[in-house]
Amino acid sequence: MHIKISVIIPTYNRPHKLKRAINSVLNQTFKDIEVIVVDDNNPNTQARKETEKVMNEYYDNVQVKYIKHKYNMNGSAARNTGFKNSVGKYIMLLDDDDEFLPCKAEAQYNCLESKDEAWGACYTKYKRLRNGKLDTVSAETREGSLFYEELCRNLFIQAGSNLMIRRNVFKELKGFNETFERNQDIEFTVRLLKKYKIAYVDVMGLVYYRHHSYKRQFDMDKITKHYVSTFKAHIEELSEQEKKVFYKMINLQLFRYKLISQRDIIGSYKMIKTKKVDIQNAFSYFNHLFYRKIFKKSCGFNLDKIA
């Protein structure tokens, strides 16, 4: 049987969430589908043992493949391993703590089957739950050539669990950049949108879970520097106005992280003092964030508002 869709689920340190993700794929209305679980836990850890226990329940299920890394390699590597072991005409990605709604695969399959090769991928609506309660619902409906929006990290489509990608496109892009520990899905989608268009499918297809039992901290300066250096050549191809807006948007994102996530008042003030962020743009951006929170809508910022 020729498989039409391969769904890759990288898993690390979340065996208690994994079964929900796998079952959400097996319960799709579209049945010509395979599930590839890539275990990125280190061997002999409790997480590896518990993951193996979960996967034993699917031992006799021919739709499910279980692959174990010899050691922890990161989510990008796990996705690439999944692709190498897949056979589907289309590739879907699903984080181990998220879940597909039943019509997702069928709706996206029908979308890409109806479009020509210029359309490399598609995405659906999603809802985000925070600690079991509705946090936001996607308001992104944009489609077409969205390279610049994604380069600015301003396209809110939850690409890590929401894309369906043509197999030849995934192969051409050589998968995910394994040097990225954060923004892997954005980095991948930027490269995809440099060459292809993306389609929007108007169905609710994904439940994306956020868990805030603990506060995660990242070196966002380092992450941002790596992101910008990776795409330096693409940035230089932009017009002067586009470059100006790009850097202002990236700095607004960094400013937000310092001020809200880190409570770094001094670092935030320094960004204003050194004119990396100006008050007018910060006001417009935080109005946008306030709107998203009040109306529970997940959408990108209007880049035309950046002065």
pLDDT at 212: 58
| Residue where a domain terminates, one of 159, 178, 210 | 210
Are residues 60 and 16 both part of a single domain?
yes
Statement: residue 213 has pLDDT above 70: no
Are residues 31 and 175 both part of a single domain?
yes
Domain count, the chain: 2
Statement: residue 218 has pLDDT above 90: no
Are residues 201 and 293 both part of a single domain?
no
| Residue where a domain terminates, one of 157, 188, 210 | 210
| Residue where a domain terminates, one of 210, 245, 263 | 210
Are residues 106 and 32 both part of a single domain?
yes
Are residues 44 and 126 both part of a single domain?
yes
Question: What pLDDT digit, counting tens, does each position of 189-201 carry?
Answer: 999 999 999 999 9
pLDDT at 77: 95
Structural domain that includes position 285: 220-305
Cα-based torsion angle of the residue sequence 88, 92, 98, 103 in order, rounded to the nearest 10 degrees: -80
Lowest mean pLDDT among 62-71, 157-166, 175-184, 297-306: 175-184
Are residues 95 and 199 both part of a single domain?
yes
Predicted confidence band of residue 231 (pLDDT cuts 50, 70, 90): very high
Average pLDDT over residues 4-28: 96
Statement: residue 216 has pLDDT above 60: no
Question: What pLDDT digit, counting tens, does each position of 107-147 carry?
Answer: 999 999 999 999 999 999 999 998 888 999 999 999 999 99
Are residues 144 and 118 both part of a single domain?
yes
Question: What pLDDT digit, counting tens, does each position of 138-169 carry?
Answer: 999 999 999 999 999 999 999 999 999 999 99
Average pLDDT over residues 175-181: 90
Lowest mean pLDDT among 58-67, 134-143, 188-197, 217-226: 217-226
Are residues 169 and 280 both part of a single domain?
no
Are residues 116 and 65 both part of a single domain?
yes
What CATH number corresponds to the domain at position 162? 3.90.550.10
Residue 215 lies in a domain: no
- pTM, 2 dp: 0.92
Are residues 51 and 111 both part of a single domain?
yes
Are residues 132 and 41 both part of a single domain?
yes
Are residues 206 and 224 both part of a single domain?
no
Cα separation, 67 vs 52, whole angstroms? 10
